[in-house]
Amino acid sequence: MIQMKVRAVLKVCGIVQGVGFRPFVYRLASCYNAKGVVQNRSDGVLIDIDIRKDLFESFMADLQGKRPPLARIDSIETRFDDALDRSGFFIVDSDNHAPKTAVISPDIAVCSRCLKEMRDTKDRRYNYFFINCTNCGPRYTIIKTLPYDRPNTSMNPFKICPECKKEYDSPIKRRYHAQPISCFGCGPILSFLDNNQAVLATRDDAVILTADLLEKGKIIAVKGLGGFHLMCDATNIETVKRLRNRKNRPKKPFAVMFPNLESIGRAANLDLYDINLLLSKERPIVLVHKRCFNETEKSQRIAEIVAPDIDRIGAFLPYTPLHHLIFDHISRPLVATSANIGGEPIICSAGEIFERLGHVVDGVLDYNRKIVNACDDSVVQKTGRSHEMLRMSRGYAPKSFKIPFKTTKKILAVGANQKNTIALAFDDKIIISPHIGDLNSIEAFEYFKRTVQTFKRFYNFEPDIIVCDKHPEYETTKWVLNFAGNHNVKDNKPIKIMKVQHHYAHLLACMAEYNIKERILGFAWDGTGYGDDETIWGGEMMIADTKRFDRTGYFYPIRLLGGDMAISEPKRAALSMLFEKYNSVKEILSLFLPTVEAFDKKKIAALHSMWQKGINSPYSSSVGRIFDAVASLGGFVQQASYEGQSGLEMEAWVNPEIKKQFSYEVKNGIVSLLPMIDQIINLHQSNRDKKVIRTMIASMFINTLTDIVATFCKNIQLPVILSGGVFQNRTLLESVTCRLDKIHRRYYIQKNTAINDGGISMGQIWRALHNFNDDKNEQ
């Protein structure tokens, strides 16, 4: 009986390039005796096959159900025609003429099969530091433009050798069209350089020398996938002190790379969720609880100054072959912190390491393949039954979302000034960049501009609409106005600018992640954001949907004494609350409080005058600043050396068995915590044990914030969104969600995008997608 054949032409979109998708299709087609071709295109992958009609549905099920581990299929467009008289199935050269819409894969940790080969003394890639395949290795960090072919990557200068070429050309091999494929004979060279930039060792000797110097207490810059790490022995107190002094980083926690999961288990309390995050193909930094050590375990301890005065540690596992090779020669955990000047982008070249961090490092382990696109480590933490993203970068980004409709406009969102990311929307996609960082320096802002150009180049993208924050002093806002102005002079088609309020964008980001269309009650709590009344917001309760928001509540604003100085000195936020509470400086000076003790008497009088006159003292409703105030009043932190220090240090003192809370008032939606001050004073006066006082204050404050959420939920029966940097505080988030569970309230928290300002670009673009035809003044 003659079986009818049909020609099916499939356009497959998603993460389908650089992940072994074409060889997978080749093998699948062979199983079905299908004839035709598969081809990379700038908009995805084209599959053109002749196949038995009765087998087509089964083929499609296998195409989606058995796809390679790194592949993601967002959509398949299918058209049918009469079968052609074709023989064989072929992988053909890429077509670069289609619109550039293909999704770029993030970089992925080295896979177990590559590691097994690297350990095999008989394998030609034994101990090869750059081993990779279609299931692992660099992607985003080496690509210049689409499609993802070797000439478009930083591997292009390395001429492939005959043995690698055989693997590269064979569809049945794991390295078929693995663009970074190489070996000792044709790949990049690994070198160790001293501080005079002289090469001391190469290949295996460079790895051995690196491990030896790390063991001797030296600080080494090691080139990773998306930039350099500064590495040193995490168990050596003096070495970590030296790194802190040289890098001028007094207390901000360092991340630690451990040789294996067992070694993390000796330093931290892990549950199954933590373990799954640590072992995931993305290999992020995972914030985990420190273990308590007894005297006999001291030799295994991570130096306390790695993450001082907090109960968490950022732990991660080796994710490149080079990391694994280093740990073959040293068994100790290593500090692995981004090589940069505080707040600036991660450094990608050895030359810049010597120029900018030459005073910090004792040597550099480098290789001669260029990092095209910098990409820092991602940071996540488990919260309750799920996890939240604190920094979305290596392994997770570029992040793409398929949206449930198509847009005819090309939209660029430029995010916030802190923890910046950008986002693009076109066709039926949103693409979010990896973490860019804080745009407080010329170097950081240049990196922002380069990232914009990179993504424009990836997709031949010229925006019709650009979305930014309402803050007039944000560098991103200024850039948008300048960019659009210059473009409009050259082009008759003007770029439309849309401005979105910062905290509304936080909520919109969560709406976007879950495609929420209904109205919600949103709690957007963070450190700083420009409000519609031109004051600083940050403790917002909003009723919102994709079209608008109503500010239904907020925290009683306090003055930030000295403006930005109040952010680095929590004692100023506390003093401002005291000024609101008491009538005179004399009363304040008589108080038995750590805040008062932290100031000179004359300074308090001078700041009171500043407060009274409103000089350099803007109002703020920020919960982040309230955390600072309580941290000062409780004696936790008076001078902060990094963002979020107050919350992290207080979190370490919370006792979940304590159910008491502080008093507060809510009038017309305005939350006042001034009644809390008397109770904090009473705690100091009634107990001289600082540990007891800190435990009570930290626990009661978390309980108070939780009760404030419950109070607003009681009056407003809507689904809840929790967003903003304050909800990075795991203890607070778990306390709030536990209360919401008890009152059976549906709630949403971002999981796949950053809950802090790293998610702002997502929220901005979601607003624009729903409103780009609205010519009214956007909220």
The pLDDT tens digits for 597-611 are: 999 999 999 999 999
* pLDDT for residue 298: 56
pLDDT value at 95 more than 90:
no
Structure tokens at 91: 């992988």
Give the contacts of 277 (CB within 8 A, at least 6 positions apart): 284, 286, 380, 382, 387
Strand partners, 401: 430
Q: Across-strand partners of 530?
A: 536
Would the pLDDT of 773 be above 60? no
295: pLDDT strictly greater than 70: no
In terms of Cβ atoms closer than 10 Å to its own Cβ (0-12, 13-18, 19+), residue 4 is exposed
Residue 1 — very low, low, confident or very high, per pLDDT cuts 50/70/90? low
pLDDT for the residue numbered 492:
65
pLDDT value at 777 more than 70: no
Taking 3-state DSSP, the helix, strand and coil percentages for the chain, each rounded to the nearest 5, stand at 35, 25, 40
Give the chain's largest Cα–Cα span: 103
Say if residue 103's pLDDT is above 90: no
pLDDT range class, residue 296, cuts 50, 70, 90: very low
Between strands 399-413 and 423-432, the pairing is antiparallel
Query: Is residue 750 over pLDDT 90?
Result: yes
CA angle (12 as vertex; 139, 392 as ends), nearest 5: 35
| Matching residue, tokens 């150009």 | 453
Q: Give tens-digit pLDDT for 581-595.
A: 998 999 999 999 999
Segment 692-718 shows an average pLDDT of 96
Return the pLDDT at 328: 97
Is the pLDDT at 341 greater than 90? The verdict is no
Give pLDDT tens digits for 170-199. Answer: 988 999 889 999 999 999 999 999 999 999
For 280, residues 6+ apart whose C-beta sits below 8 A from its C-beta are 395
For residue 78, pLDDT over 70 is answered with yes
Q: What sign results for the dihedral spanned by CA atoms 598, 599, 601, 605?
A: negative
DSSP annotation of 531 reads -
pLDDT at 135: 92
- Least confident stretch, 13-17, 363-367, 419-423: 13-17
Between 482 and 777, the more confident residue is 482
Structure confidence at residue 301 (pLDDT)? 85
Window from 98-112, 208-222, 496-510, 688-702 with minimum mean pLDDT:
98-112
Per-residue pLDDT band at 97 (split at 50, 70, 90): confident
Q: Could you give the CA distance from residue 640 to residue 654 in angstroms, rounded to a whole number?
A: 20
**Is the pLDDT score of 299 beyond 80?**
no
- Kindly give the pairing relationship between strand 720-723 and strand 35-41: unpaired
Name the pTM for this structure: 0.94
Average pLDDT over residues 514-540: 96
Whether 741 has a pLDDT exceeding 90, the answer reads: yes
Q: Give 438-461 pLDDT, tens digit per residue.
A: 999 999 999 999 999 999 999 999
Task: Please state whether the peptide bond connecting residue 284 to the residue before it is cis, i.e. omega within 30 degrees of 0.
Answer: no
Q: Express each pLDDT in 650-697 by its tens digit.
A: 999 999 999 999 999 999 999 999 999 999 999 999 888 999 999 999
Do 694 and 635 touch, CB atoms closer than 8 A? yes
Mean pLDDT of 707-714: 96
The whole-chain average pLDDT of the chain stands at: 94
Q: Encode pLDDT of 345-379 as tens digits.
A: 999 999 999 999 999 999 999 999 999 999 999 99
Closest of 217, 219, 201 to residue 209, by C-alpha: 201
Q: Residue 148: which pLDDT band, with cuts at 50, 70 and 90?
A: confident
388-405, pLDDT tens digit by residue? Answer: 999 999 999 999 999 988
Q: How far apart, in whole angstroms, are the C-alpha atoms of residue 234 and residue 336?
A: 9
Q: What pLDDT is recorded for position 778?
A: 40
Give residue 702's identity as a one-letter amino acid code.
Answer: I
Question: What pLDDT was estimated at residue 488?
Answer: 65
Cα 48 to Cα 38: distance, rounded to the nearest angstrom: 6
How large is the average pLDDT for residues 482-488? 80
pLDDT by residue (tens digit) across 105-144? 999 999 999 999 999 999 999 999 999 999 999 999 999 9
pLDDT band (50, 70, 90) for residue 776: very low
